[in-house]
Amino acid sequence: MFDFFGGVTHLKLRAVFQPKTLCVIGVSQYNPLSPGTVIYQKNLHEMEVEVFGVNPRGGKIDDREIYKSVSDVPKDIDLAVICIHAEAVNGVMEECGEVGVKGVVVVSGGFAEIGGEGVERQNQLVKIARKYDMAVIGPNCVGVYSPPYVDTFFLPSERLVTPPPGNVAVISQSGGVLVDQFFSKYTERKIGVSVAVSIGNKAVVDENVLLDYFKNDPKTKLITLYIEGFREKEGALFLRKAAECFEKKPVLVFRAGKSDYGRRATVSHTGSVMTATNVASAAFRQWGVIEAESEYEIITFSKVLSFKLPSIKNGDVAILTISGGHGVLCADLCAQYGLRLVEFTEEEQEEMRRLLNPSAAPIASLKNPIDLTGSLMDNDVEKIADYLMKNEKVEALILLMLPYPPTISMQLGRRTANIVRKYRKPVVAYVPWLPKYSMIVEGFELNGVPVAHTVEEAVQMIKALKLKGEAEMRINRTLSYERFSS
């Protein structure tokens, strides 16, 4: 991996993520489902980029000319996508370099991940990229999704769900994980993406290059990564780059290859090796990287961190619920995830009771969890939430809002969010994700309160904010030591 962090490189990467012209090498006028043809058609009809197709046989697709070589394309090319047999890739790479292509996505497999001749083939690809100063994504990847500019994923639109535009940059060594774990679940939870990159074998552009780029990308407020491993010296550089990013935006990681079986699998998948689990986790913590422990946490953490809520230090939480059972579940989960329930004095409980309507006041449980019961009204939630946000003991508030009682209106989300947004404290909510309750969900989320799909997700969100707070303290110490030592 050569040094690829100069200003020119950022311009080349911008051409990859926001290309004005795209050349797809490997289209077919006879096979509409070939990877190249799928990419060509998607970008032609769904993206802003101007698209050209290349196939040595020439021909036409829907009366549009297919060019026989990259050099025949009548315009300067920002980004080329190569979808041909591995043996032919480097010859086309040379041609791309000769005509001044700024960036290349190599979808083709058959490189370092297969060993032997594949390793030499990948080494030659790197030499060509260095020779022509091209930003190369891959090989062995699905490439780049950057709405509304370009989509190099070779998956038909009717098979693929894509998240809305947003502020999360996703970097993944696996295309399958990116499409399934991130795209599908991000879409379900309305998590928006600024750019998503499948880096595959990361022969040229790797996580470190992308961290350096996204650190200064104004559209990106959170950088999320799926990592299977690092090559020699990459890991140490990653930690430094992540620390530099953290001063501007959080870096969130979910890593695979933690077991012996998993580490062996990553070598055959992308040719990478993951450091021992305890060593990697300790290093991440020291350098301010927030680590998700499961495929579920990475999605939940992504959502709450994309809302840019303030972090917390100790994990002191209040739970405000309509259902006693949900409160008990939430309390257990708080203990499981390392959070603490604030204890309210008898005096504080009486102060809250005096705020409730006459039907709810006698039967509400005002310890913690605070159960307002089914006799509550919107005003009760607003008043108690306001009281809790003012309480100095409470760092964060979890709202468990089941909109079943007839006394609750569809404006509950908006009204409550407008109360709590006045305070510099994080609030998350659980509301059943059903179409009939979408007005409540949107009322919360449009006003800065993320809504979880489950009670456990709500607790995971607060855990993420606690981890962010811990990361802020550690990174400040680490960077202070580094600067002092230098």
Digit-coded pLDDT (tens) for 37-82: 999 999 999 999 999 999 999 999 999 999 999 999 999 999 999 9
Q: What is the DSSP letter of 182?
A: I
Determine the Cα–Cα distance for residues 147 and 169; give it in Å rounded to an integer. Answer: 11
For residue 92, the surrounding DSSP H or E stretch is helix 86-98
Amino acid letter at 336? Q
Determine the Cα–Cα distance for residues 83 and 25; give it in Å rounded to an integer. Answer: 6
Burial of 232 from C-beta contacts in 10 A (0-12 / 13-18 / 19+): exposed
Per the omega criterion (within 30 degrees of 0), is the bond before 369 cis? yes
- Contact (Cβ atoms closer than 8 angstroms) between residue 140 and residue 169: no
Amino acid letter at 341? L
- Contact (Cβ atoms closer than 8 angstroms) between residue 417 and residue 431: no
Domain with CATH 3.40.50.261 in the chain: 7-305, 310-469
Q: Report CA-CA distances (Å) from 477 to 246, 287, 353, 482.
A: 13, 9, 44, 9
Determine the Cα–Cα distance for residues 60 and 27; give it in Å rounded to an integer. Answer: 10
Q: What pLDDT, on the 0 to 100 scale, is given for residue 265?
A: 54
Give me the residue label for tokens 């140490």. 236
Token pair belonging to 314: 């100790």
Q: What pLDDT, on the 0 to 100 scale, is given for residue 9?
A: 77
Determine the Cα–Cα distance for residues 347 and 353; give it in Å rounded to an integer. Answer: 10
Burial of 282 from C-beta contacts in 10 A (0-12 / 13-18 / 19+): exposed
Q: What is the DSSP letter of 179?
A: I
Q: What pLDDT, on the 0 to 100 scale, is given for residue 275?
A: 53
- The domain made up of 310-469 has a fold known as Rossmann fold (3.40.50)
Q: What pLDDT, on the 0 to 100 scale, is given for residue 268?
A: 47
Q: What pLDDT, on the 0 to 100 scale, is given for residue 49?
A: 98
Task: Extract the residue ranges of the chain whose pLDDT is less than 70.
Answer: 1-8, 257-278, 477-486
Out of 3.20.20.70, 3.40.50.261, 3.40.50.1010, 3.40.30.10, the CATH code matching 7-305 is 3.40.50.261
For residue 103, the surrounding DSSP H or E stretch is strand 103-106
Q: pTM value?
A: 0.92
Please report, in angstroms and rounded to a whole number, the separation of the first and last CA atoms in the chain.
26
Determine the Cα–Cα distance for residues 306 and 290; give it in Å rounded to an integer. Answer: 13
Determine the Cα–Cα distance for residues 205 and 351; give it in Å rounded to an integer. Answer: 58
Q: What is the DSSP letter of 365?
A: B
Residue 379: HSE in the Cβ half-sphere, 13 Å Cα cutoff: 9
Residue 289: HSE in the Cβ half-sphere, 13 Å Cα cutoff: 27
Q: What pLDDT, on the 0 to 100 scale, is given for residue 276?
A: 53
Q: What is the DSSP letter of 307?
A: T
Name, in order, each residue with C-beta under 8 angstroms of 261's C-beta and a sequence gap of 6 or more.
Answer: none
Q: What pLDDT, on the 0 to 100 scale, is given for residue 24?
A: 99
Name, in order, each residue with C-beta under 8 angstroms of 384's C-beta and a sequence gap of 6 or more.
Answer: 320, 352, 355, 356, 370, 372
